[in-house]
Amino acid sequence: MCGITGYLGYKQAAPILLEGLKKLEYRGYDSAGIATLENHQINIKKGVGAISKIDAKLQFSKLHGTIGIGHTRWATHGKVNQINAHPHLTQSKNLIIVHNGIIENFEELKNKLNSVNLISDTDSEIALYYFENKLNKGLTIKEAIKEFLKEVKGTLAILFLNTQTNEIYAIKRDSPLALGIGTNEIFLGSDIYAFSKFTHKAIFFEDNEFAIISNKGFRFYNQNGLEIIKKITKFNWVKEEKKNKNFEHYMLKEIYEEPKCIERLSISLNSDQKNKIQNLKNLILNSKKILFVAAGTSYHASLYATYLLTRLGFDARAIIASEFSNIGLVDKETLIIAVSQSGETMDVLDAIKPVKNSCYSLVSIVNVPHSSIERLCFLNINILAGQEIAVASTKTYSNELYLFLKLSQELGMKINLEKIFDNVKELIENNSSQIKKVAQLLKNKKDIYIIGKGSGYAVAREISLKLKEVSYIHAEGMMSGELKHGTLALIENKTPVIILISEKHDPILSNLKEVESRNAQAILISPYYGDFKIPEGKETFALYASILGFLLTYEIAKLKNLPIDKPRNLAKVVTVK
């Protein structure tokens, strides 16, 4: 889940690499580093912590050279320290590496290269010496990479910088990698956002492809070393606005952007993506079974989608991607819908790749255009939330929910979506004081329970996730009917229970009585009960309740002085198993 960048051109590389790393920091923020070359002079700076902190100390822009590579790390092998930070350099100083992924046969390769004294604890460094070993034996660059792809197991997005030839070797397997094309300059990045400021033309690496980049240009090859012609894609990207001084954190800024993001998606679904939503509608009508495949927040959005489609009479289920191979039964009448903010979620990719040709059709719902999941599917719908900086997904989740509401409306469900943008805006603005009041009550709690019924169950799961990842509070989101099947034993005096009530005469009210009789601290999110101001609407309740949950989570984390945008141990995109 690291981010990698590369540049070769006529400009100073370091400022361009730094810009790319800042855009990729959502992929990891344990450490970062940049390496550049100037007349074969190697310049490397790296450190631990956020990029802004490292840059303030080391001043990356002072690195000279028109070729270079950069890395922002989310640790998988080796502790978070200066030594394990990328880039890594061989003792001969001939090769430098940055790597996103995991080399699974690290120990096996290490044993084969027993004469090498590794400096770091990373798996990436063994790849560096493996590759140098092959070159030292007289293999050509293409031959060395062919052997590398045959023998190395695991996920790879690697950039090797050859300090003798001023070339960059880019290799991709499972982890994302793209090449950007400018005028007499080449950019590389884990996604197009890394270089979208400089160019809107890209080539996307597929698995087991590699490229050799020099001042003469670039060439692509397959795993057998045969040159291949790649399609150049012109892309458009919804850029995020500059950080507003009125917002202390990106998470809050992105919550406040939700009305605008939903409106943008609505316009698209009624114009340029209108045919896509109609095609998805027809696929659903002509399939026997619909399986949503997702992880984390997108899985909770998928739970909501199955609630809506089931109410319409369809056989729809949401399956956590990492368990899809164990419980997902697929045949030629099964429609699979992969949902992912990044479009690079490894668990989702692993789930859908084996069944691509054995299902009725494969659809993606993603936020990042031209991502790996999108390129794998037959039909793609973009949720157009724009770049999300905070690790906790908010506006992407809301756009996913709106998309499912629009789809359900197209399939015949009576839903009024005309005022939804205004409703979301008013919801955010009108509940600020109450949110802060409840946050004060919950900030020191160790356990919080969230219960919901119907669409409220998906919301309960999502709010509990946000409380865990941003506020560092153990939270459990569950079906309200399951409360008395065990969990009620944990409800005692002042235990906080958030209850999601979508209807005036909701059966969940009986669960409210159960927790109140045990002196629990009941907090109601409802259009009809409690102190929150929330619009009516059974179908749209999930969207509104989720936003309140996001705001509550944010305020709790703020009161606890936590790193809201960059929670510990987490990265936004999970591209490793």
Regarding whether 247 and 145 lie in a shared domain, the answer is no
Q: Are strands 227-228 and 209-214 parallel, antiparallel or unpaired?
A: unpaired
CATH code assigned at 76: 3.60.20.10
CATH code assigned at 448: 3.40.50.10490
Cα 300–chain centre separation: 14
Regarding whether 428 and 414 lie in a shared domain, the answer is no
Regarding whether 467 and 385 lie in a shared domain, the answer is no
**HSE-up (13 A, CA, CB side) for residue 341:** 30
Regarding whether 182 and 55 lie in a shared domain, the answer is yes
Is residue 207 classed as helix, strand or coil in its secondary structure?
coil
> What strand order describes the sheet that includes 186-189?
41-48, 31-38, 67-73, 3-8, 186-189, 178-181, 201-204, 233-234
Average pLDDT estimate for 360-381: 94
Q: What is the pLDDT of residue 437?
A: 96
Q: What percent of the chain has pLDDT over 90?
A: 70
Contacts of 435 (CB under 8 A, 6+ apart): 548, 551, 552, 555
The candidate with the shortest Cα–Cα distance to 33, out of 251, 488, 43, 457, is: 43
Q: What is the pLDDT of residue 238?
A: 57
Please report where in the chains the tokens 């290490």 appear, as a residue: 110
Which residue did the predictor score with more confidence, 102 or 318?
318
Helix 455-471, helix 296-311: angle, nearest 10: 170
- pLDDT tens track for 77-100: 668 788 888 999 988 899 999 999
For residues 174 and 157, what is the distance between their CA atoms, to the nearest angstrom?
A: 8
Regarding whether 71 and 127 lie in a shared domain, the answer is yes
Regarding whether 407 and 341 lie in a shared domain, the answer is yes
Is residue 9 classed as helix, strand or coil in its secondary structure?
coil
Average pLDDT estimate for 501-519: 88
In which band, very low, low, confident or very high, does the pLDDT at 516 lie, cut at 50, 70 and 90? Answer: confident
Is residue 102 classed as helix, strand or coil in its secondary structure?
coil
- pLDDT tens track for 255-268: 999 999 999 999 99
In which band, very low, low, confident or very high, does the pLDDT at 34 lie, cut at 50, 70 and 90? Answer: very high
pLDDT(254) > 90 = yes
Backbone angles phi, psi at 466, to 5 degrees: -65, -40
The domain of 200 spans: 3-234
Regarding whether 293 and 219 lie in a shared domain, the answer is no
Q: Into how many domains does the chain fold?
A: 3
- pLDDT tens track for 265-279: 999 999 999 999 999
Catalytic, 239? Answer: no
Average pLDDT estimate for 513-526: 90
Angle ∠(389,394,397) on CA atoms, nearest 5:
120
The candidate with the shortest Cα–Cα distance to 75, out of 65, 86, 66, is: 86
Regarding whether 520 and 436 lie in a shared domain, the answer is yes
Backbone angles phi, psi at 291, to 5 degrees: -115, 120
Regarding whether 573 and 527 lie in a shared domain, the answer is yes
Average pLDDT estimate for 60-66: 93
Backbone angles phi, psi at 92, to 5 degrees: -75, -15
Contact 10, 38 (CB under 8 A): no
Q: Which of 192, 210, 234 is the last residue of a domain?
A: 234
pLDDT(331) > 90 = yes
Which member of 23, 45, 172, 572 is catalytic? Answer: 572
pLDDT(389) > 90 = no
Neighbours of 266 (CB within 10 A): 20
Which member of 2, 261, 359, 377 is catalytic? Answer: 2
The one-letter code for the residue type at 53 is K
**HSE-up (13 A, CA, CB side) for residue 292:** 28
Question: What is the pTM assigned to this prediction?
Answer: 0.83
Which residue did the predictor score with more confidence, 409 or 107?
409
Q: What is the pLDDT of residue 378?
A: 96
Contact 232, 202 (CB under 8 A): yes
Regarding whether 468 and 388 lie in a shared domain, the answer is no
Regarding whether 161 and 193 lie in a shared domain, the answer is yes
Q: What is the pLDDT of residue 243?
A: 55
Q: What percent of the chain has pLDDT over 70?
A: 97
Q: If DSSP states are collapsed to H, E and C, what string results for 133-196?
A: HHHHCCCCHHHHHHHHHHHCCECEEEEEEECCCCEEEEEEECCCCEEEECCCCEEEECCHHHCC
For residues 187 and 208, what is the distance between their CA atoms, to the nearest angstrom?
A: 19
The candidate with the shortest Cα–Cα distance to 127, out of 143, 108, 109, 147, is: 109
Q: Environment class of residue 49 by beta-carbon count within 10 Å: exposed (0-12), middle (13-18) or buried (19+)?
A: middle
In which band, very low, low, confident or very high, does the pLDDT at 571 lie, cut at 50, 70 and 90? Answer: low
Catalytic, 377? Answer: no
User: Which tokens belong to 537?
Assistant: 């609407």
- Of 175-179, 187-191, 245-249, 404-408, where does mean pLDDT reach its minimum? 245-249
Q: Which of 418, 448, 464 is the last residue of a domain?
A: 418
User: Which tokens belong to 426?
Assistant: 């008013």
Q: What is the pLDDT of residue 244?
A: 54
Could you tell me if residue 39 is left (phi over 0), alpha (psi between -120 and 50 degrees) or otherwise beta? left
Regarding whether 395 and 446 lie in a shared domain, the answer is no
Q: Are strands 289-294 and 227-228 parallel, antiparallel or unpaired?
A: unpaired
Cα 4–chain centre separation: 15
Which residue did the predictor score with more confidence, 462 or 104?
462
Q: What is the pLDDT of residue 88?
A: 92
Average pLDDT estimate for 15-21: 94
- pLDDT tens track for 202-251: 999 999 999 999 999 999 999 999 999 999 998 876 555 555 568 899 99
Q: What is the pLDDT of residue 276?
A: 96
In which band, very low, low, confident or very high, does the pLDDT at 189 lie, cut at 50, 70 and 90? Answer: very high
pLDDT(346) > 70 = yes
Dump strand ranges (E) for 321-373. Answer: 334-340, 361-366
The radius of gyration computed from the CA coordinates of the chain, to the nearest angstrom, equals 25
pLDDT(176) > 60 = yes
Q: What is the pLDDT of residue 239?
A: 56
Q: What is the pLDDT of residue 576?
A: 55
